[in-house]
Structure 1
Amino acid sequence: MRLLSERFTAIYSLILMVLFTPLFATEPPKLPTLTESDQLIGNFIQKKKLATFPIELVSKGHFKLNLHEGVHWVTESPIASELKLNATALQSYSNERQVLSMDARTQPLVAMVAEIFTAALSGDWSALEAFFHTKTSVTPQGWHVEMTPRDKAAARIANAIHFDGEQFVKQITLYEPSGDQTRILFESIQLEPYRAPSRH
């Protein structure tokens, strides 16, 4: 359970930390600031290859990201589930029941991921580089960035993370310490006005 929760935390926070990276050349991108009045939304297709099993697992869903609630990652198929992540906690739901809860105050990995996530939201690339080495390049299709861990703590998250995109990130590939590989394709990403949840 602990290993599963660590992977769950790392994958989805890092997935979203550069979803709104702008087009750049060979310099590290200057991340834009997501304001309190905006939120980022989009769809995803996740393809996971297991090191010990010769099959690709595919899931689909949608997400939203804002400064008030953090990340809301909703898997629609093949099995419905939800993930909520912000600077203080990670929570996972299945059939509207909470199945996992991790507090950043007591879980070191959650605290580290929260720091990375906050740095990305604030456009603090130097803070992200405290955890990862980065290598950027321009391709005919847009841009490509590779990230590798600086220390053992970051290496618990991934051996490497590759990002490809144009105006927004279009694909993220996560190379996990276990040998598993997760590739996430993003579609219909856009900024829209933030709407606070209705309270009854």
Structure 2
Amino acid sequence: MTFCKRLLLTCLWGLCLPALAQAFDLQQLSDQLSRPEVIHGRFIQEKHLRALPQPLTSKGQFVLAKQHGLLWLLQAPLRQDYRITPKGIARRDAEGWQMLPGKSAGAEQNRLFLAVLQGDSSGLQRDFELKLQGSAQDWHLQLIPRSLLLQQIFTRIDIDGGNLVQRIQLLEAQGDRTVLILQDGTSAQPLSDAEQHDFAE
């Protein structure tokens, strides 16, 4: 479940949302963030647990391809590669990519992730109340869960960014908090041969 939450957080920048009458509205944000075909970048994730004085930190790289899915390449504190496509979530081991079994909450979060990635606003509109503030270069989006399942996991999701998403914070129902910082995001680089191969397997 934790990994699925992280994936949902990492991929929210592809969302496609309904328009509202304001200076910078949700439709404009959707158009802006869903424009890139491929995004490469680095991430730092901090898991703030009530029982620990310091957050648990992990780092790595990601590749988001609108037509394929997401490669989530964890590099520290351990190395582990994940791939998320319409078929589900896979983890790489010595024998190649292995599909992970779906569970109820994880499957629901994966469904939401795919809706975000594919620009399908119907699931997001049903499951979240959306509040946007700011401008195209400096905006803040708040997602408040409507569905009972998501209310059991999140109290709120906060997303901040400019041309691309820069920071995502997940406030969890039990009081823990996850912060995901996305760095050096670029849409100028196409998929490499190795990345295309990873998505094709």
Distance 1:68 1:175, change over 3 A: same
Residue in structure 1 matching 2:145, options 141, 145, 149 = 149
Q: How far does residue 62 in structure 1 lie from its aligned partner after superposition?
A: 0.3
- 5+ unaligned residues in a row in structure 2: which ranges? 17-21
Gaps of 5+ in 1: 1-5
**Distance in 1 between the 2:38 and 2:137 partners?**
26
User: Structure 1's 156 and 81: CA in aligned 2 closer, same or farther, altered over 3 A?
Assistant: farther
2:183: which partner in 1? 187
Q: Alignment length, in residue pairs?
A: 188
Q: Find the residue that maps to 1:175 and give its secondary structure.
A: strand
Contact 2:44-2:180 within 8 A present in 1 as well: yes
CA distance in 2, matches of 1:39, 1:140: 20
- State whether structure 2 residue 28 is matched by structure 1 residue 64: no
Aligned to 1:101: 100
1:197 aligns with 2:197: yes
1:76 CA displacement: 0.9
Distance 1:111 1:98 in 2: 19
Secondary structure at the counterpart of residue 197 of structure 1: helix
Deviates more, 1:161-170 or 1:178-187: 178-187
From the two aligned structures, give the one with the greater helix fraction: 2
**Structure-2 change in CA distance of 1:77 and 1:113 (3 Å):** same
2:48 is matched with 49
* CA offset digits 1:42-84 (Å, max 9, x no partner): 1111111111211112221100112454111111112222222
Closer, same or farther: CA 18–141 of 1 in aligned 2, 3 Å: closer
* Structure 1 residue 25 displacement after superposition: 4.6
Q: Is the 8 A contact 2:92 2:98 kept in 1?
A: yes
Quick one: distance in 1 between partners of 2:95 and 2:154?
A: 30
Name the amino acid aligned to 2:101. M
C-alpha separation in 1, matches of 2:133 and 2:12: 19
The 1:64–1:97 alpha-carbon spacing in structure 2 relative to 1, beyond 3 Å, is same
CA displacement at 1:110 relative to structure 2: 4.0
Q: Does residue 171 of structure 2 align to residue 175 of structure 1?
A: yes
Kindly indicate whether residue 2 of structure 2 is the aligned counterpart of residue 13 of structure 1: no
User: Letter of the aligned partner of 2:44 in structure 1?
Assistant: I
Root-mean-square deviation (CA, aligned residues, Å) is 3.2
Task: Report SS of the residue matched to 1:130.
Answer: helix
Could you tell which deviates more after superposition, 110-119 or 187-196? 110-119
Give the structure-1-normalised TM-score. 0.78
Pair 148,42 (structure 1): closer, same or farther in 2 beyond 3 Å:
same
Distance 1:51 1:29, change over 3 A: farther
Q: Is the 8 A contact 2:25 2:132 kept in 1?
A: yes
Q: Determine the structure 2 residue equivalent to 1:3.
A: none
Q: Name 1:118's counterpart in structure 2.
A: 114
The answer (yes or no) to whether the contact 1:19–1:169 under 8 Å persists in 2 is no
In structure 1, the residue corresponding to 2:41 is in which secondary structure?
Answer: strand
